[in-house]
Amino acid sequence: MSYEKLPLQPFFDKIDELKPAFVERLRKAIAIPSVSGDESLRPKVVEMAHFLVDELTDLGFHDIQLKELGVQPPPVENKDLKLPPIVLGRYGNDKNKKTVLVYGHYDVQPALKEDGWSTDPFTMYHDTTKDILYGRGSTDDKGPVLGWLNVIQAHNELKWELPVNLVVCFEGMEESGSLGLDELIAAEAKNYFNGVDTVCISDNYWLGTTKPVLTYGLRGCNYYQVSIKGPGADLHSGIFGGIIAEPMTDLVKVLAQLVDGNGRILIPGIDDMVAPLTEKEDKLYDDIDFSVEELNAAAGSDTALHQDKKAILKHRWRYPSLSVHGIEGAFSGGGAKTVIPSKVIGKFSIRTVPNIESAKLDKLVIDYVNAKFAELGSPNSIKAELIHDGAYWVSNPFNEAFTAAAKATEDVWNIKPDFTREGGSIPITLSFEQLLGTDVLLLPMGRGDDGAHSINEKLNMSNYINGCKTLGGYLHYYGKA
Ligand SMILES: [Zn+2]
């Protein structure tokens, strides 16, 4: 892409100059163990919200609000446990400027030194030889959240005007299902979030470790179960084997007809709903930094179904997949138990992509399962049903927000970003898009090997510092677009 560069060098230099302050800010944030999944640490999650409020106040944000979300619904040990508040704040309120909402979360995954961390997870450790910052929340998502604050600090010190109005929305329950967030977004869509032009979320990762990415799609997931019921109780195969119809035999036959050994879904009609691949989209895959070896390394085996980079990524991101997950009620222990299970429930899910219609998919799946069962002529009974669904998301990687972020990335990293999707889902993305009616951009700061939910979570210093530059640069290019 050739484009007119904005004179952002003073801003980039200021970010470099403020590096010690930014590292200190991250150190303070990591030191607050804001684990949302641990009820006993809820006061720390709230403390983290107040830490952000203090920082936002110091930086000159206005209309700062802590939105209370009420009591956490069951299952909880403490029935009076309050959800952590959502932190809202504004920087700038100029009618002539575009308004960017940035989302991040200030809660973290649990972490204990005993889990295998090399250093205490809540004491930031700066490995100065590799220039890496270790600590729970460093990359997920405290680094990116503070990145936005760092951008504002740099502007304040430069006495530069921010080219857009910024609205921040930081939640404290992301690692525990984002309880209350959808309701808050819906309630504030026409209030606090009124006038928002676009949403930027920095809460995912580069595909690999060397090349920055912008993410424009996520797959959805429809999860099904098939219950097959026969005898009134579990039976002994020595007494009943060979003389009654066994539910497990039926279920295995049905499950075996869902997908073939090459990963091709055998249920007719699903492929017809998949959006055709355009030449423009296909080209996005050409330069992506990825290889079959990386897939095998991540899977810990040499079992890839596709040997070509583009085919692998397309099957991970833009084609549906069907996985069989388990059988409830089946004998699953060690040894040689001779039980005939009386009722078994098979579980499988389909990762969905544009333009699969969820309700139509459910009908195709359930009718197919029922038809395959009918072919068996079994006297047992079957019930196939959807138990959970979440929609896919895809944005236009050529829109204003993505184009602005691509320019900023190229300015900072001297390389064009890869345009990626993810095979899984980030439900809040869709919530923002649907409830606010705006585009969403996923602009990650960290690398694919940061270990977000794992031990020794880290953020490379270059990703933190260049990440701040990229977030700020994006606001400038978007403001001018
Ligand atoms: Zn996260």
Question: Distances in Å between the alpha carbon of 220 and those of 217, 269, 329?
Answer: 10, 18, 27
Asked, for residue 308, whether it belongs to a domain, the answer is: no
Residue 74 domain flag: yes
Q: Edge to edge, what strands does the sheet with 381-390 contain?
A: 321-328, 343-352, 220-229, 381-390
Asked whether residue 372 falls in the same domain as residue 401, the answer is no
User: pLDDT tens across 374-400, in order?
Assistant: 999 999 999 999 999 999 999 999 999
Same-domain pairing of 14 and 139:
yes
Same domain, residue pair 161 and 75:
yes
346 alpha carbon – ligand 1 mean position (Å)? 31
CATH number at residue 256: 3.30.70.360
Same domain, 211 and 260: no
| Catalytic residue from among 55, 140, 174, 410 | 174
Residue 68 lies in a domain: yes
pLDDT at residue 424 above 90? Answer: no
Same domain, 22 and 82: yes
Residues 186, 229, single domain; the answer is no
Quick: pLDDT tens for 33-64. 999 999 999 999 999 999 999 999 999 999 99
Give me the CATH number covering residue 146.
3.40.630.10
1 pLDDT band (50/70/90 cuts)? low
Q: Is the dihedral of CA 228, 233, 236, 241 positive or negative?
A: negative
Residue where a domain stops, chosen among 371, 390, 409 = 390
Do residues 208 and 335 share a domain? no
- pLDDT (average), residues 204-220: 95
Give how many domains the chain has, as a whole number: 2
311 belongs to a structural domain: no
The pLDDT of residue 426 is above 90: no
| 234 within domain boundaries | yes
Q: Over the stretch 215-264, which tens digit does the pLDDT of each residue have?
A: 999 999 999 999 999 999 999 999 999 999 999 999 999 999 999 999 99
Q: How far is the CA of 141 from the centre of ligand 1 (A)?
A: 5
Is the domain of 120 the same as that of 149? Answer: yes
User: Which pLDDT belongs to residue 423?
Assistant: 87
Q: What is the mean pLDDT of the chain?
A: 96
Can you state the angle between helices 42-59 and 19-30, rounded to 10 degrees? Answer: 160
Domain-terminating residue out of 336, 363, 390:
390
Same domain, 100 and 207: yes
DSSP bridge pairs for 198:
100, 439
Domain boundary among 390, 421, 444: 390
Is 174 catalytic? The answer is yes
Is the pLDDT at 445 greater than 90, yes or no?
A: yes
pLDDT digits (tens, 9 = 90+) for 327-336: 999 999 999 9
| Runs of H (alpha helix) within 83-242 | 143-158, 181-188, 237-240
Read off φ and ψ for residue 460, nearest 5 degrees.
-65, 140
Give yes or no: 107 in active site: yes
pLDDT at 46: 98
Say if residue 2's pLDDT is above 90: no
Centre of ligand 1 from the C-alpha of residue 328, in Å: 31
Please say whether the beta carbons of 401 and 441 come within 8 A: yes
pLDDT, residue 298, reads 84
pTM of the model: 0.91
Q: Which domain holds residue 257?
A: 220-275+318-390
Q: Are residues 20 and 33 in the same domain?
A: yes
Does 287 fall in a domain?
A: no
Find out whether 148 and 29 touch, Cβ atoms under 8 Å.
no
230 and 116 in one domain? Answer: no
Cα 140 to ligand 1 centroid, rounded to whole Å: 4
